[in-house]
Structure 1
């Protein structure tokens, strides 16, 4: 019975959406469904090629993709396919519910636009979309695209939807109206965008009009960027979703061609607090004193108690019992080690792929909010503390970065990002971004992103979608519930007693994956999002894909051969240690030392993560006094390795690896 209720809910929503589509789209949709019912065993009618222009146009209609998914269609890359095992009951119900009525007698309608008055005559059973099409074709009314039309009724005039919430799926006879006032929403939107008072929701509605988008793309993108800058520090989850929907059209997350530009705009949207100064003129900072042996808790205690204003000051990290001042190295080391410390905390657990996700039933909202604050600080804190007082009050992060990447001689300096020593799982990040995966295809992709290659989850396979349960040994084995740490969680009322069948397996798959990947982590994700927003705003969450955000926070876990080439190419070597520097890189290139690359990187820079963008990574090799009996030293603030005058590669390797194991860089800046 639960499945029937679920199907009825889908059907109702689907019918409302479909009746609101242009007539040509509704007719094509019905034709596709009728073909399947008329030819239930013919595979060609169960496959829709996405390269087909008409199918693409249909799928661009509001709710169309969700409608096909609700009916059991799945994405196979270049097509939509309906598995042979899918039930056709809902398809039959939807086809019946969208049956077009006979035209009926004509109705005369009056449409007013300003001082203009136009008469339209349409059959009484014309769906509202037919009225919108007639207005779009009317020369006297200005041929306003249907996506930009706003109709008002009554005196004083008010939007049609206030009186008829489902007007878009009704006929003009059902509306029972004879006169409408017409407005072009674009005219109002232009004024609102120029004044930066529009909302992302209203902007998204404008983008639905392809002609408006095509004719005004640059203006719309610039306006969306300005709106994000104005709103980035005060966006809730709903507005974040609207912002992501806007930028998905205008500036798509995940596009490698625009990644640098999007990151630069994130920086402009992340304001620093006014750099208040003491009586002696020095900048007031936010000091964070942490204990190495209790790093996670000692950091969170201070971060959770800090005010939002403190979070936007210059962060200065010191380790208890150590004299090193934070000129970049301790800060880099802190963020790296905090990520590694999360792995050992009960509130976090690892996925099969090794990423972090909140533990089931974790109610530690303050902890996740604090973790979000620290992850947010990693995005917006600069490297060179000594340069920060040069920046004007209320400077943006972009202005700060421009200041700290130039030294006194106006020479470019390194800018190494602050990377956390553990990766957050991709589905959790999508929840943090309020970009919840909904379809079976999306949910399977997120599940597979966190699986071990050697032990894939059957729920993420295409075989499960296209095969009968008995053929894969699962007939009678699944119920609408899941086990979580010894507890049975029902996915619907009485779910543990409802056995999954071939007809309901897609409903089960969506329900079980959505519970595991979304619902179980939604509260921790909301707390984490709040923490990120308090420290860095929401621009990074709006403009980056989950993959990009994952790497922006944690870089790469291993130093690949390509990364090592960059490391070697961008190393600045003192001629006095040219031979030792050559040996150093020979050691890192050796197969037996491949796993030691990250340790050496940690020893010399404070972080064992390699940045995705390493263009500004610079590494220094300088001399120090002494010979084979001394260990090398590192100055992590400057990515500097100081080498004694070793007489052989073997001596250098032994002393270098010994220093890495002892972690001597912890005592240096």
Structure 2
């Protein structure tokens, strides 16, 4: 057993006391397994098999699912990876002894008679006086006379008039029968009350989460619970605070977890929960109420934020109409799409507000909260304003310019939308904070750190070697202290006197968790809170609840690169006027050329207003139409309808030359 740590490195305070209380409240089988695992390590500290708990083991997984269990193992020094919980050889074991002593109840003691009533039903039980309350819950669950109510659905009341046990004994779940000193209980099944509350939309996600923890209830009522959760989200999406959002995410992680198979359905439900910008008529029934946004290209970021910040929530729900100052283009989709694209780009240039991670994603730096609130509103608008752009797709095959103009300005019913993509991705750690889903475990923190690192220059703190190797082997012995430096040069101490406290092998995991949590969570929490409020004011909370951080990242900003598969789809989705069949073929030959691979987003921007490729491009369409003239003219784009107009070029080389010049000059400002 390593004994190199000082007393301040041994956690003997509130965190271990909480672990002891948590453990006492677990079901008997989980409680006994936990104690056995700790005792095995103490009894045979050199046995490697006792220091590795495989996550594939069903009993270990069930134990880790208990409240506070995984955090408790971390406090005791265990480190989680993708396959197991492992206890490093240098871990201090004194806390193990502390926890074992704290969870020992001593000899069983004499039997105590107990009476449990459920309506007209009555059951007599006898339990040793030193039995933990969890054993009483287990006995009730096994009682045929009481209806075999699962322990997680049991509510016990005591006294006259009866009131919940928790009101009189807040720590009842961690107490013994003798400590409670009670002889009679009234039993209720919380599921019966929950069904009525779910049907009336009175339930909270917190109460729903408690029901989902009961495997029997979940398996027997899965469809009803999922439908109820979806209805509850729809009714609460515009009113959620951080706590309820966190609980809602917890519920849907069980009922409707992220994944490719469920993504389309979850996105569809997000739309149902979101106040879409449906055109509204004024009192006279003639004028369409809109939210006009006039932005300056030279200062797009500030000119947009000044108007967004002052807008009311009611204005944010109106159809957005974007115009660029000094340009006559009407917003039939193109300016709107270009605005969101360029707003993201402008964020990357705001060094005092945003900084970019090694992979180019945005993460905030300390700045006034009003800025992030307004940025959140704009990102929220990108989610809910896309419906206005649906009319861009309403053009028939081989449509003429006149028909396109009529389609994008007409009043006919809209079809599929093309998403509005912000031109810069938000970093995954920031998105998780926005979603109230902050990474907690060391493995999770390392995963989020690595998600934002360049493969060519990885951060040593995200490597498995940092956990398994000594600081001497890593060349870091004596180099680290319990502090770290922020991008703006300020030093943050991770504990009092941290800058003077050198990290050792015994404390390196505590340092790693503290430094990653400080960098990936604590430093951006305030910005995330303000950003979340802005998003919810514009679009509600459904997207933040139902999508994973990676899915949300792509829903907001699509893909930065256009792969060969994407280009193939672009070509397949193109409607080409027969008069420009040859020029269109040359156009795609140019894009397929290896030297043009990096220029594909620039061409996409010129022709559609956005350089981001949608992660789900089912609504993407593209048109190639003729324009008068020949080699001497540049091509034109009508971004409202994803249309490229080509002169009658005489060769591929001439088309390539003029296309490159048009993209560089930014002639896509000819918008409608």
Same structural fold, with TM-score higher than 0.5 when normalized by the shorter chain: yes
Aligned to 1:372: 376
Aligned to 1:448: 450
Listed one character per residue, the Cα deviations across residues 51-100 of structure 1 (whole Å, up to 9, x for unaligned) are: 22222222222222222222222223222222222222222222222224
Q: What secondary structure is seen at the aligned counterpart in 2 of 1:518?
A: helix
Aligned to 2:328: 323
Deviation at 1:116, TM superposition (A): 2.2
| Alpha-carbon distance in 2 for matches of 1:405, 1:628 | 30
Q: Tell me if the contact between 1:369 and 1:527 (Cα under 8 Å) persists in the aligned partners.
A: yes
| Alpha-carbon distance in 2 for matches of 1:316, 1:85 | 62
Aligned to 1:576: 579
Of residues 148, 154, 167, the one that matches 1:149 is 154
Aligned to 2:516: 513
Q: Tell me if the contact between 2:130 and 2:176 (Cα under 8 Å) persists in the aligned partners.
A: yes
Q: Tell me if the contact between 1:314 and 1:385 (Cα under 8 Å) persists in the aligned partners.
A: no
1:290 aligns to 2:295 (yes or no): yes
Q: What secondary structure is seen at the aligned counterpart in 1 of 2:291?
A: strand
Of residues 247, 251, 266, the one that matches 1:246 is 251
| Alpha-carbon distance in 2 for matches of 1:414, 1:240 | 29
Q: Tell me if the contact between 1:17 and 1:169 (Cα under 8 Å) persists in the aligned partners.
A: yes
Of residues 250, 259, 265, the one that matches 2:263 is 259
Q: What secondary structure is seen at the aligned counterpart in 1 of 2:504?
A: coil
Q: What secondary structure is seen at the aligned counterpart in 2 of 1:527?
A: helix
Aligned residues: 650
Q: Tell me if the contact between 2:576 and 2:584 (Cα under 8 Å) persists in the aligned partners.
A: yes
Deviation at 1:477, TM superposition (A): 2.1
Equivalences for residues 5-16 of structure 1 within 5 A: 6-16=11-21
Listed one character per residue, the Cα deviations across residues 333-354 of structure 1 (whole Å, up to 9, x for unaligned) are: 0000000000111210111221
Of residues 490, 495, 508, the one that matches 2:498 is 495
Q: Tell me if the contact between 2:382 and 2:420 (Cα under 8 Å) persists in the aligned partners.
A: yes
| Alpha-carbon distance in 2 for matches of 1:125, 1:16 | 15
Listed one character per residue, the Cα deviations across residues 178-208 of structure 1 (whole Å, up to 9, x for unaligned) are: 1111110000000000000100000000001
Of residues 345, 356, 361, the one that matches 1:355 is 361
Q: 213-222 vs 51-60, which deviates more?
A: 51-60
| Alpha-carbon distance in 2 for matches of 1:437, 1:9 | 22
1:431 aligns to 2:433 (yes or no): yes
How large is the RMSD of aligned CA atoms in angstroms?
Answer: 1.9
Equivalences for residues 28-107 of structure 1 within 5 A: 28-107=33-112
| Alpha-carbon distance in 2 for matches of 1:305, 1:406 | 29
| Alpha-carbon distance in 1 for matches of 2:408, 2:158 | 59
| Alpha-carbon distance in 1 for matches of 2:389, 2:472 | 64
518 and 658 in structure 1: CA distance in 2 versus 1, 3 angstrom threshold: same
Q: What secondary structure is seen at the aligned counterpart in 2 of 1:197?
A: coil
Of residues 535, 542, 545, the one that matches 2:545 is 542
Deviation at 1:7, TM superposition (A): 4.9
Q: What secondary structure is seen at the aligned counterpart in 1 of 2:617?
A: coil
Q: What secondary structure is seen at the aligned counterpart in 2 of 1:363?
A: coil
Q: What secondary structure is seen at the aligned counterpart in 2 of 1:556?
A: coil
Deviation at 1:280, TM superposition (A): 5.5
Aligned to 1:187: 192
Aligned to 2:468: 466
1:593 aligns to 2:596 (yes or no): yes
455 and 118 in structure 1: CA distance in 2 versus 1, 3 angstrom threshold: same
Of residues 381, 387, 392, the one that matches 2:385 is 381
Of residues 618, 635, 641, the one that matches 2:638 is 635
| Alpha-carbon distance in 2 for matches of 1:405, 1:257 | 33
Aligned to 1:341: 346
Deviation at 1:475, TM superposition (A): 2.3
Listed one character per residue, the Cα deviations across residues 248-294 of structure 1 (whole Å, up to 9, x for unaligned) are: 110113x1100000000000001247723253613100000000001
Q: What secondary structure is seen at the aligned counterpart in 2 of 1:258?
A: helix
638 and 618 in structure 1: CA distance in 2 versus 1, 3 angstrom threshold: same
Aligned to 1:658: 661
Of residues 256, 268, 272, the one that matches 1:268 is 272
| Alpha-carbon distance in 1 for matches of 2:288, 2:29 | 65
Q: 186-195 vs 118-127, which deviates more?
A: 118-127
| Alpha-carbon distance in 2 for matches of 1:596, 1:352 | 21
Deviation at 1:413, TM superposition (A): 5.0
| Alpha-carbon distance in 1 for matches of 2:411, 2:379 | 31
| Alpha-carbon distance in 2 for matches of 1:383, 1:618 | 16
Q: What secondary structure is seen at the aligned counterpart in 2 of 1:120?
A: strand
Q: Tell me if the contact between 2:606 and 2:668 (Cα under 8 Å) persists in the aligned partners.
A: yes
TM-score normalized with structure 2 length: 0.94
| Alpha-carbon distance in 1 for matches of 2:255, 2:264 | 16
Q: Tell me if the contact between 1:85 and 1:468 (Cα under 8 Å) persists in the aligned partners.
A: no
Deviation at 1:415, TM superposition (A): 2.5
Q: Tell me if the contact between 1:327 and 1:383 (Cα under 8 Å) persists in the aligned partners.
A: no
Of residues 481, 484, 497, the one that matches 1:482 is 484
Deviation at 1:10, TM superposition (A): 2.4
Q: 491-500 vs 455-464, which deviates more?
A: 491-500
111 and 497 in structure 1: CA distance in 2 versus 1, 3 angstrom threshold: same
Aligned to 1:391: none
Aligned to 2:618: 615
387 and 583 in structure 1: CA distance in 2 versus 1, 3 angstrom threshold: closer
Deviation at 1:591, TM superposition (A): 0.7
Aligned to 2:401: none
| Alpha-carbon distance in 1 for matches of 2:503, 2:391 | 63
| Alpha-carbon distance in 2 for matches of 1:161, 1:147 | 14
| Alpha-carbon distance in 2 for matches of 1:314, 1:2 | 62
Aligned to 2:138: 133
Listed one character per residue, the Cα deviations across residues 404-447 of structure 1 (whole Å, up to 9, x for unaligned) are: 9999998x955311001111000000000000111111111111
| Alpha-carbon distance in 2 for matches of 1:373, 1:7 | 45
Deviation at 1:575, TM superposition (A): 0.8
Q: 459-468 vs 595-604, which deviates more?
A: 459-468
Deviation at 1:149, TM superposition (A): 0.4
Q: Tell me if the contact between 2:428 and 2:448 (Cα under 8 Å) persists in the aligned partners.
A: yes
414 and 580 in structure 1: CA distance in 2 versus 1, 3 angstrom threshold: farther
Q: 655-664 vs 279-288, which deviates more?
A: 279-288
| Alpha-carbon distance in 2 for matches of 1:15, 1:575 | 77
Deviation at 1:560, TM superposition (A): 0.8
| Alpha-carbon distance in 1 for matches of 2:200, 2:8 | 49
Listed one character per residue, the Cα deviations across residues 474-521 of structure 1 (whole Å, up to 9, x for unaligned) are: 222222211223322111222222222222221111111111100000
Q: Tell me if the contact between 2:345 and 2:423 (Cα under 8 Å) persists in the aligned partners.
A: yes
